[in-house]
Amino acid sequence: MNELLAKRNAVTELLRLSPVADQLAARFTKAGHSLYLVGGSVRDALLGRLSTDLDFTTDARPDRVQQILGGWADGLWDTGIAFGTIGATKQGVTLEITTFRADSYDRVSRNPEVAFGDSIESDLLRRDFTANAMAIDLSTRTFVDPHGGLEAVTGKVLDTPATPEESFADDPLRMLRAARFVAQLGFEPAKRVVDAMTAMSAEIGRITAERVQTELSKLMTGASPRAGIELMVRTGLADHVLPEVPGMRLAIDEHHQHKDVYEHSLTVLDQAIDLETTHEPTSGPDLVLRLAALLHDIGKPATRKFESGGGVSFHHHEVVGAKMARKRLRALRYPKDVIADVSQLVFLHLRFHGYGKGEWTDSAVRRYVTDAGDLLPRLHKLVRADCTTRNKRKAAQLQRTYDDLEERIARIAEEEDLARVRPDLDGNEIMKLLGLPPGPLVGKAWKHLKDVRLDRGPLEYDDAVAELRKWAADQGIEQPESD
């Protein structure tokens, strides 16, 4: 791309957001201050993907920024004021205006010592990557690009304004951010960036789990998380963030002996992402599905056994893997619902392989659906994605078999409302029929009736009552005389 044309395109994209940008620039100019569109907003303008969340930098101090925005912005907040940032909204556009920064780092603590700068050049020098170290002067619509950011963006190269060693020592999270940009934007890291990441990967230990988790989640929901994960593994960063993933390189998958479990898992991740849009489409990237796809086989190294006939087995790796996934996601401070959903998908991902050629009874199908619960659409995708064989006949047969299972689920669900499989008697009826007060026995009776419901399907009321009374007699529960 011609450099002049790229600049012109970026400015055109910026002007599309007028009058907000024009109004904001005019207010700062009138107040005697400069204002620049900066960082990711400029990068995204060059890439033709500018959003309505815009970042600005200025020589005005935070209290002065608040004065300039007062009475003009639709909304105003100062939650980032300790770091020199004031947030605002105007006509549906979210704005963050940060005073020039010239931070210093002691390279031991996790946070910088915030210091305000006095020039756009010093502000850009402290930024993480050259692609994010560009600015547009809003008063003149001219570029400020002292570190070759435009060339980096057009060439999709990831490099740092200062040396990568200095940049990563200041904030080790930038190494994980590099992997995230590879996944999100398709950039290729410069050799010196890869070398520095490899030498300094252990420094990520200085960063809180919460910050690491945020970057990892952004990476996993990028356009190509596989590329980001591969960079993490290649540099050793994954050894400190997701050690179970590079650990899979030690095991050979018993079904796909031409590739190791690590490569298999990356392929499953790719295929799961494809299914997000082609099979029961979702509105956006599915973090839970993607984490489950990446981690579904992490239990294999711990369960690997070399059989006497020369084969390799991984018995119960789904049970071990679910525990490992839960432990790792907890360490990364993921929300409880994400931890529960990912670990349950890992636990269930092998269940389908007992289906054979459709030998499951309707009872087994009901249990499959009930155990998956709300995760069933994701389980469908994970199981389908888990087919990575190069044998086209075998792959087609597996897909046909799963098509058959989904058709059976749909048929039974239509007949029996599988989405709400519950006992044919509720807790109140159980207490009334057995003369029980609220307590554990009622729960046991409810569970028994649910198991019966799963095995036999819906029961007539009289049959359900008879089943309950039979269970109570077996338990030695004295029952009131029936009316």
- Per the prediction, the chain carries an average pLDDT of 86
Q: Under CATH, to which class is 156-241 assigned?
A: mainly alpha
Predicted pLDDT of residue 258 = 42
- Residue 209 clears pLDDT 80, i.e. is over it: yes
Q: Is 55 helix (H, G, I), strand (E, B) or coil?
A: strand
Contact 268, 388 (CB under 8 A): yes
CA-nearest of 66, 70, 71 to 86 is 66
Mean pLDDT in residue range 127-150 = 90
How far is the first Cα of the chain from the last one, in angstroms, to the nearest whole number? 87
**pLDDT tens-digit series, residues 385-401:** 998 877 788 888 888 88
Per CATH, 3-155 and 156-241 having the same topology is answered no
Q: Is 307 helix (H, G, I), strand (E, B) or coil?
A: coil
Contact 405, 353 (CB under 8 A): no
- Residue 309 clears pLDDT 80, i.e. is over it: no
Predicted pLDDT of residue 259 = 54
SS3 content of the chain, % helix, strand, coil (to 5): 60, 10, 30
**pLDDT tens-digit series, residues 321-354:** 999 999 999 999 999 999 999 999 999 998 888 7
- Give the tokens for residue 12: 């055109």
C-alpha pair distances (Å), 392 with each of 126, 275, 383, 396: 52, 18, 17, 6
Write out the H or E segment, with its range, that includes residue 312. strand 312-313
pTM: 0.81
Predicted pLDDT of residue 385 = 93
- Residue 206 clears pLDDT 80, i.e. is over it: yes
Predicted pLDDT of residue 256 = 45
Write out the H or E segment, with its range, that includes residue 158. strand 157-158
CA neighbours closer than 13 Å in the CB half-sphere of residue 38: 27
The rounded Cα 345 to chain-centroid distance in angstroms is 15
**pLDDT tens-digit series, residues 230-239:** 999 999 999 9
Please identify which residue in the block is written with the tokens 């815009």.
54
Contact 454, 467 (CB under 8 A): no
Q: Is 37 helix (H, G, I), strand (E, B) or coil?
A: strand
Is the CATH number 3.30.460.10 carried by domain 3-155?
yes
Mean pLDDT in residue range 122-132 = 92
- Residue 1 clears pLDDT 60, i.e. is over it: no
Rank 91-100, 189-198, 300-309, 310-319 by mean pLDDT and report only the highest. Answer: 189-198
Domain boundaries, the chain: 3-155, 156-241, 274-419, 422-474
Contact 441, 415 (CB under 8 A): no
pLDDT-derived band at 472, boundaries 50, 70, 90:
confident
